[in-house]
Amino acid sequence: MYSEKVMDHFMHPRNAGEIEDADGVGEEGNLKCGDIMKVFIKVEDNIIKDIKFKTFGCAAAIATSSMATELVKGKTIEEALELTNKAVAEALDGLPPAKVHCSVLAEEAIHAAIKDYSEKRKKAAQGK
């Protein structure tokens, strides 16, 4: 059912955890299946220097969170915004059709963290 890469990222997730003083935090969930992903980013000079995730969900949810963080770590904000759920699924050698929504959640959670980071920067620039 799952590829070896999915099982590896599920059994040995990369970047699991939380960043206490994160520059951006994004959370997305799926009410149907109950999966919840929370992503924390640390940004320096427009580059995602650190990224962590906390995911409550199935094996595919954990694996897609792990892979998505691996794909954007060290990338610029603009490069990270180009991440798609398709790229996450392909990097994991595919997902069963019923689990594709997990890769969508991973993409959305990363984009939400970047949006949070951008909004905080705007407020700081405006002195609010």
For residue 4, the one-letter residue type is E
Beta bridge partners, 48, equal 43
Q: Is 58 a catalytic residue?
A: no
| Annotated catalytic residue, options 102, 106, 109, 113 | 102
Q: What is the rounded (10 degree) CA torsion for 24, 83, 86, 105?
A: 10
Residue 6 to residues 1, 44, 48, 84, 96: CA-CA distances in angstroms? 10, 30, 24, 17, 11
| Annotated catalytic residue, options 7, 16, 33, 104 | 33
Q: Which residues are catalytic?
A: 33, 102
